[in-house]
Amino acid sequence: MDSTEYSVDVDLLIVGAGPVGLYGAYYAGFRGLSVAVIDALPNPGGQITAMYPEKPIFDIAGFPAIKGQKLIDGLLEQGAPFQSTYLLGQQAVSLDPVGDRWKIVTSTGQQILASAVVITAGVGSVSPRPLPCGEEFTGKGVQYFVPKLDVLDGQDVLVVGGGDSAVDWALASVERARSTTLVHRRKQFRAHAHSVKLLQESSCRQLVDAEITSLHGNGSVESAVVNVKAAAEPVTVPCTLVVAALGFTMQLGPLANWGLELENRSILVDTAMRTNRNGIFAAGDIATYPGKVKLIAVGFGEVASAVNNAAAVLQPEVGLAPGHSSDNAPAFAAIS
């Protein structure tokens, strides 16, 4: 008999407090399950809160556009009536069976007992790819995230990269900064075609097929030297703020050692979002199956499926069907 004293004992543990995990917490509460949510980041919201809270998102059903942090705030409000336990700033390290339940030990030493686990850890741990130069200016004019758009105000902004984030930050900067330059090492952008069209129609200076070779400044960054292949001489660009959007390296971390069947750093699931281990489910970008599309909207549906299938196992007398949310609204839910 297990005599361990657990700091948290719940029906369902959700690993990952991004938008998919937060929606899962709401849905589990709606199904009458006790829930804990764990995330290595100190605040709920996952990469949205950490990297682009001010960035508009255009593919959430029912919202023509919604800023990242507003989406997270709404998800937290939606789940608040069910009083989930949030374990933030710590990582789920180990997963071991205890009878027909699961013991999870965190990086701070907390021990959690859960009857089922839903993994919504996105793409795992994320680290930004560094600039090839100017590391000494990190935090002194060079940054990898734009948590608040007002940091762009009145600056000479240099954005480095050619993907969606780079183009989005450049477009946001044009509206607020004194000047905006975008440097991309290829001629073609990897961002959405519509965003690239807006960029090309904007006042943003674009240096393509080009690379930054050095950054200069006295204490903080003041200028960059850019080697443009089509130019005879390097170009000097004034910049008081450099936004490096070169993408990220991603690692599963401890999840890789949990005995789950993996494919290309993702967890294989079936149509019920079940993994190869009983009682362990996965949803969102961390989960994969034939035809998978990585969208927040898809993740919302996946985590609802995962939670409902977990509920059917934990509460067989209730079954899979969740019923209508309008028939079981929280007592103090806002209705408009």
Annotate 137-174 with b (16+ C-beta within 10 A) or e (fewer): beeebbbbbbeebebbeebbbbbbbbbbbbbbbbbbbb
Structure token digits, residue 66: 């919604």
Which stretches within 131-201 are classed as H helix? Answer: 164-174, 193-201
Is 245 annotated among the ligand-binding residues? no
Is 188 annotated among the ligand-binding residues? no
Contact residues for 65 (Cβ-Cβ < 8 A; gap 6+): 56, 57, 58
Q: Give the residue from 171, 25, 165 showing the smallest Cα distance to 88.
A: 25
Is 39 annotated among the ligand-binding residues? yes
CA gap 249, 163 in Å, rounded: 14
Q: Give the residue from 123, 213, 131 showing the smallest Cα distance to 166.
A: 131
CA gap 41, 60 in Å, rounded: 23
Is 96 annotated among the ligand-binding residues? no
Is 3 annotated among the ligand-binding residues? no
CA gap 14, 21 in Å, rounded: 6
Is 143 annotated among the ligand-binding residues? no
Q: Which residues sit in the known binding site?
A: 39, 47, 52, 92, 285, 326
Q: Which residues sit in the known binding site for FAD?
A: 39, 47, 52, 92, 285, 326
